[in-house]
Amino acid sequence: MKEILTIDLELCTGCRNCELACSVAHTQSFNPKRSRIQILKDEVRNLVVPMVCLQCEKPLCQEACPNGAIVENEHGILFVKEEICIGCMNCVTACIYGGIAIDPQTKKAVKCDLCNGDPACVKACDYGAISVASTKPEGLHQRRKAVSPAFQTLGLQIEEVQE
């Protein structure tokens, strides 16, 4: 069964510990800018918007990649094959959820790979804001509930097809 991350905006404090944990898990360094989960903030509007890959059923990123660098791992999760990625940013433009980004150091695309089933960010969140849900209908509903208020404020639309 595929899994996804859902984030409860009510609980998120914007502390960025998830970013730290993700950067440690994937880069062995403390570097929030290289994290696969990104906490966007707008202090003036009191907005904290966690952005992470939604593990879409119809992945726009994969579709957009001219080189076929975005492939499934053994857990059925899409990840970016660094050696194949050419850093063209097509996937970044294609993903309307901000789920994939260019690593500032490698200049290659990176996205959440769910840490091979043991998500570091979930453990690192002391406020219990991140959880793992299944891609069964309840889980998808939870995902939608989690992201929609923030996405609406940011002017993003969640495609019905995703649900």
Residue 43 or residue 160: which is nearer to another protein going by CB?
A: 43
Q: Shortest approach of ligand SF4 to residue 156 CB, angstroms?
A: 19
| CA distances for 44 relative to 13, 17, 22, angstroms | 15, 22, 27
Q: 103 is written with which tokens?
A: 């690593």
Q: Which does 115 bind (CB under 5 to 8 A by kind): ligand SF4, another protein, none?
A: ligand SF4
Query: Closest by alpha carbon to 84, among 72, 96, 73, 69?
Result: 69
* Backbone angles phi and psi of 38, in degrees to 5: -130, 130
Residue 65 or residue 110: which is nearer to ligand SF4 going by CB?
A: 110
Q: Which does 104 bind (CB under 5 to 8 A by kind): ligand SF4, another protein, none?
A: another protein
Look up tokens 């991350």; give the residue.
Answer: 5
Q: Shortest approach of another protein to residue 154 CB, angstroms?
A: 12
